[in-house]
Amino acid sequence: MKIICIGRNYAAHAAELNNPVNEDPVIFLKPETALITGRLPFFIPDFSQDVHHEIELVLRICKTGKRIEERFAHKYFDAVTVGIDFTARDLQLELKKKSLPWEISKGFDGSAAVGSFVSVNDLNPESLDFSLNINGITKQAGNSSMMIFPIRKIISYASEFFTLKIGDLIFTGTPAGVGPVKRNDVLEGFIGNQCLLKLKVK
Ligand code: MG
């Protein structure tokens, strides 16, 4: 499986990192070894002094597809959750300065935490509140209706380049409020009031 991630998909977040808003979605991948599920902890890697949390709505792909038209995109995912796109911000800034790819700052082991999935049957994925608490305090909150590129566009655009396969995950971008995590932090991710992700930082 692969993990497809969208960058700069909320205007306020793009602005907080001084990034321009692009005409097309910004896409990058994380390898399968980035995935952490269940209640496993997140370990801060030795190579970074500034790992940031990015809470994101995550889609689970349920059908193989390539060049999917926007109007059919909803048929290709059956469940959503929240995930954390952990980012070694110090390393990413160095790489960006040199115009090099971000991969190692975004795709390192454990950098894709994913919560429990809920079926999309009972909800409207285009208008979902989601949030991140750290040690009980809300640090990030967003609604999927605020995406610059909506879910149907993300699925259509990504599938021009990458065939989507069952079990692939799509991280759809983070709202404003990103910041560093530190050892012993407890991170909780919510859709609405439902806690779907909980992990400790080590
Ligand atoms: Mg992100």
Q: What confidence tier does 12 reach under pLDDT thresholds 50, 70, 90? A: confident
**3-state SS, one letter per residue, for the chain:** CCEEEEECCCHHHHHHCCCCCCCCCEEEEECHHHEECCCCCECCCCCCCCEEECEEEEEEECCCECCCCHHHHHHHEEEEEEEEECEEHHHHHHHHHCCCCCHHHHCCCCCEEECCCEEHHHCCHHHCEEEEEECCEEEEEEEHHHCCCCHHHHHHHHHHHCCECCCCEEECCCCCCCEECCCCCEEEEEECCEEEEEEEEC
**Average pLDDT in the 6-10 region?**
93
Q: What confidence tier does 22 reach under pLDDT thresholds 50, 70, 90? A: confident
Alpha carbon of 68 to ligand 1 centroid (Å): 23
Confidence check: pLDDT of 14 > 80: no
Alpha carbon of 62 to ligand 1 centroid (Å): 22
Query: What domains are defined for the chain?
Result: 3-200 (3.90.850.10)
Alpha carbon of 53 to ligand 1 centroid (Å): 8
pLDDT at 20: 79
Confidence check: pLDDT of 19 > 90: no
Alpha carbon of 83 to ligand 1 centroid (Å): 10
Alpha carbon of 80 to ligand 1 centroid (Å): 16
